Amino acid sequence: MTDTAQPGTDQVVRGVRLPRTARRAQLLAAAQDVFVANGYHAAAMDEIAERAGVSKPVLYQHFPGKLELYLALLETHTDALVQRVRGAIESTTDNKLRVHAAVAAYFEFVDGEGQAFRLVFESDLRREPAVQDAVDRATASCIDIIADVVVADAGLTADQAKLVAVGLVGLSQVTARYWLDGERAIPKEEAIGLMYTLAWKGIGGGFPLQH
């Protein structure tokens, strides 16, 4: 019999055997807590196992090492970010609403439970090629999703549209992180509205986008 813990808590439930997928999710949740709190380098597999309420051998059955565990967690959250942006762009054909939704996607991601965004945007392991590659691929995917719409609706070249998309992604990411680090000094919807207005004035006013 093995011990389990509720993800994100210190409560241990004794004697419960979880299916493999549930166990993996539990371990990732525990690892997220530890990596966010301590950073990659200061995090220990012992601490992650203890937080999850399992033995180290159980942890190693699922992840052969700390880097593999970190990468699995990173992939989960970079995929989630890309899906948020894709969902925002595909949620409407109104470009004004698309811009609002794209900005909101970054604010919602940054404001998500567990501060997972710190693993994506503020990792102390960014010099690790596999980590940098995962983040770069996610960023490129978000840019391409937006750029495809700009090309179709504004008649720009692919390179021009990509630069516009980079601007929207950069504005959304940086301002969302600044807003959160500033302890949400203004309500989230107001912050999104301000950044959406800034972005739309530039995109909608500078290019012949169809609303």
CATH homologous superfamily, domain 68-204: Tetracycline Repressor, domain 2 (1.10.357.10)
**CA distances, 21 to each of 27, 62, 83 (Å):** 10, 10, 21
* Sequence ranges of the domains in the chain: 18-64, 68-204
Neighbours of 165 (CB within 10 A): 22
Whether 208 has a pLDDT exceeding 90, the answer reads no
Mean pLDDT of the chain: 90
Question: How remote is the C-alpha of 72 from its chain's centroid?
Answer: 13
Kindly report, residue by residue over 95-147, the tens digit of the pLDDT.
999 999 999 999 999 999 899 999 999 999 999 999 999 999 999 999 999 99
Both tokens of 152, joined, read: 């179709």
* Mean pLDDT to the nearest integer, 144-160: 90
Instruction: Let me know: does 121 contact 141? Beta carbons within 8 Å.
Output: no
Fold match between 18-64 and 68-204?
Answer: no
pLDDT value at residue 183: 93
Topology (CATH level 3) of domain 18-64: Arc Repressor Mutant, subunit A (1.10.10)
Q: What is the pLDDT of residue 204?
A: 67
pLDDT value of position 206: 61
What pLDDT is stored for residue 152 in this prediction?
Answer: 85
pLDDT digits (tens, 9 = 90+) for 29-75: 999 999 999 999 999 999 999 999 999 999 999 999 999 999 999 99
Residue 211 predicted with pLDDT over 50: no
> Whole-prediction pTM value?
0.86
Residue bearing tokens 């500033």: 182
- In this prediction, residue 16 carries a pLDDT of 64
pLDDT for residue 186: 96
User: H helices of 39-94, where?
Assistant: 45-52, 56-62, 66-90
In sequence order, the 6+-apart residues with CB closer than 8 A to the CB of 148 are 161
